[in-house]
Structure 1
Amino acid sequence: MELQTKVPLQPIDHPIDYQGKVLLLGSCFVENIGGKLEYFQFPQYQNPFGVLFQPLALENLVKRSLEGTFYHPEEVFCQEGIWRCFDAHSEVRSDDQKTLVELLNQRLRRTRQWVESASHIIITLGTAWVYEHNASQKIVANCHKVPQREFTKKLLSVDAIQSSLENLVSLIGKTNPNAKLIFTISPVRHLKDGFVENQQSKSHLIAALHQIVSSRAPACRTGGQSRGVSYFPAYEIMMDELRDYRFYAEDLLHPNALAVDYIWEKFKAVWISSEEYPVMDEVESVRKGLRHRPFNPGSEAHQKFKKSLRTKITYLQERYPFMKFE
């Protein structure tokens, strides 16, 4: 008896391994995947400007980083004693104007380095709703709780999203033609926009994104790839395989830990090289060992346990010098 519909998935060519580097950009769901990659000690870099929900913000970050269009003091603003930038998430802030500008430009430089060297770039789109700042007529990445009357809310058309994503793919392709782009749609529900409006938003993102993927191959299978651009169906897995509120956090909007683990296992089966599974098991063993709290720290058994753990860490770091264990 089948009690669950399954999204068909197939392993991908050129999967992620410990010799590669992964850049992750986009909505908060990309940080769920990034957190898993970080846990297993894959070289990765997440959201230099913090969480960015909509495609124009992602295009702006990549474009400015690759073109070297650095920020100037007039591009940041002070709100209640804190300096912020409309192009970045509220976590990217400072109590000093010069410090924030330097931080933004430092992260632009680092973003360029990662785009140039990444083997894989994961981009998660969260919403097609955007806010235009009335005074500057510029689409912002984050409103920073500035009064809503200062913005006009707009829904990006499928064509506008497609154009933005085409620019994004082109920018990355010219800089690093070997990078594999993995797009996903965030399963997080943006109900503050409204139930119907959330579905409108997701549908626009999905339609535009599949135009990008399908235009690069005669046919595209679920979870497949075409000329370095792939789609991983995280949204579809959440909607079709985990269609129950027990898989949501208390806010009933975000996938909970169980759902994240489930989708991660699906992602792992498709996008992580199976040859790396034994190394991932070793890393997890060390992680669990470091969290272990003994009843008797001075016992001979615990000293042997610590020695064995140090041996495992040394072995891993000799093979993979970038791994860091606390």
Structure 2
Amino acid sequence: MKLQTQIPLKKQSDNLIDYASNILLIGSCFVENIGNKLEYFKFQNLLNPFGILFHPKAIETLMVGAIEKRQFSEKDIFFYDEQWHSFDAHSKLSNPSKEALLLNLNNRLGLTNQKIQRASHVIITLGTAWVYRFVESQNIVANCHKVPQKQFSKELLSVVEILQLLENMVCLIKKVNPDVAIIFTVSPVRHLKDGFIENTQSKSHLITAIHSILNDKIHYFPSYEIMMDELRDYRFYAEDMIHPNNLAIEYIWNRFKEVWISEDSNSIMDEVDVIQKGLQHKPFSPDSESHQKFLQNLEKSKQQLKLKLPFIKF
């Protein structure tokens, strides 16, 4: 008896992700779930240098700034609620020091530029087509930083607008890195604060635009569809009934692995997993002989793995 309808996925025939790959992950909170898995298994990746970016305009702004080597200056930041902020970055980058914020923003912009040029894969997760426009400047912001909502207007990006943003970011990336594989996905997190119908409308705009640009170097991984169809049960959701829980994240990660991670990487991932679990182990008797031997064996495993892959750090 089949108790689930499963989306058929086909293994990529080339440009699979392995331990030689260089991966940039940008976008909504779901890309952090995939990025954290890659980080756990010690792949070479850079995750959301500007923090979580929910919509395509915010991601396109970052790509333009990084590839064109723009620099943030005082006119690009503002002071509110005892912190300096940038409307182009997540609140986690905000800082009480103006100089520290500018230095961090420009360093991260440079790091993103370097990563784009070296990347074998760029993974972009779009969360919503709803955006907020700062009334004073008429610019669409990546994050409102709890500035009063009356200072923003809310609007839904059309399919045509999203398509133009995607085409621009893809064109910029390909200009400096023609061989990179770009993987788009739509976040399975439902933005219900926008409204149930509005969330569906938003996701449909994103999916339609993405599918207008797919080719042999631009791909789509159906994270949203897996959550909505294969995992259509609230036992796969966190307590807020909106975000996927750890079981759902693990399930979608395994489906991603089926398609994008090379078979040759599995044995190394197993080695890394053993070490990671060993590092998380909490002994009953830290000073016991058996635990000291356990630590010695763990260190030996780490050194053996580093001989094969020197970039790995625990």
Same fold (TM over 0.5): yes
Q: Deviations over 1:88-146 (max 9, x none)?
A: 11111110112111111111000000000011110000000011111101011111111
1:250 and 2:239 matched = yes
Q: How far off its partner does 1:6 sit?
A: 0.2
The 5 A counterparts of 1:43-192 are: 43-192=44-193
Question: Among 285, 305, 312, which residue is 1:296 paired with?
Answer: 285
Residue 31 of structure 1: aligned partner: 32
Equivalent-residue separation in structure 2 for 1:80 and 1:320 (angstroms): 45
The 5 A counterparts of 1:219-298 are: 226=216, 228-298=217-287
Equivalent-residue separation in structure 2 for 1:286 and 1:132 (angstroms): 47
Equivalent-residue separation in structure 1 for 2:188 and 2:167 (angstroms): 22
**Amino acid paired to 1:208:** A
**Amino acid paired to 1:158:** V
1:296 match: secondary structure: coil
Equivalent-residue separation in structure 1 for 2:34 and 2:194 (angstroms): 25
Residue 3 of structure 1: aligned partner: 3
Q: How far off its partner does 1:147 sit?
A: 1.0
Equivalent-residue separation in structure 1 for 2:141 and 2:18 (angstroms): 35
2:153 match: secondary structure: strand
1:212 match: secondary structure: coil
Residue 314 of structure 1: aligned partner: 303
2:279 match: secondary structure: helix
Q: How far off its partner does 1:205 sit?
A: 0.3
2:208 match: secondary structure: helix
Q: Deviations over 1:22-76 (max 9, x none)?
A: 1000000000000000000001111111000000110110111110111110110
Q: How far off its partner does 1:81 sit?
A: 1.2
1:281 match: secondary structure: helix
Q: How far off its partner does 1:296 sit?
A: 2.8
Moved more, 142-151 or 298-307: 298-307
Equivalent-residue separation in structure 1 for 2:155 and 2:240 (angstroms): 25
Q: How far off its partner does 1:299 sit?
A: 3.2
Equivalent-residue separation in structure 1 for 2:131 and 2:292 (angstroms): 57
**Amino acid paired to 1:124:** T
Equivalent-residue separation in structure 1 for 2:292 and 2:136 (angstroms): 65
Count of aligned positions: 313
Q: How far off its partner does 1:297 sit?
A: 3.0
Q: How far off its partner does 1:319 sit?
A: 1.2
Q: Deviations over 1:181-206 (max 9, x none)?
A: 01000000100000100001000000
Equivalent-residue separation in structure 2 for 1:124 and 1:130 (angstroms): 16
**Amino acid paired to 2:281:** H
Q: How far off its partner does 1:303 sit?
A: 2.7
How high is the TM-score relative to the length of structure 1? 0.94
Equivalent-residue separation in structure 2 for 1:125 and 1:297 (angstroms): 45
Residue 222 of structure 1: aligned partner: none
Q: How far off its partner does 1:239 sit?
A: 0.4
Residue 312 of structure 2: aligned partner: 323
Q: How far off its partner does 1:302 sit?
A: 2.3
Equivalent-residue separation in structure 2 for 1:92 and 1:297 (angstroms): 38
Moved more, 94-103 or 120-129: 94-103
**Amino acid paired to 1:189:** R
Equivalent-residue separation in structure 2 for 1:102 and 1:84 (angstroms): 12
Root-mean-square deviation over aligned CA pairs = 0.9
1:103 match: secondary structure: helix
Residue 207 of structure 2: aligned partner: 206
1:35 match: secondary structure: helix
Equivalent-residue separation in structure 2 for 1:56 and 1:297 (angstroms): 51
Q: Which runs of 5+ in 2 are unaligned?
A: none
Residue 220 of structure 1: aligned partner: none
Moved more, 283-292 or 301-310: 301-310
**Amino acid paired to 1:2:** K
Q: Which runs of 5+ in 1 are unaligned?
A: 217-225
2:207 match: secondary structure: helix
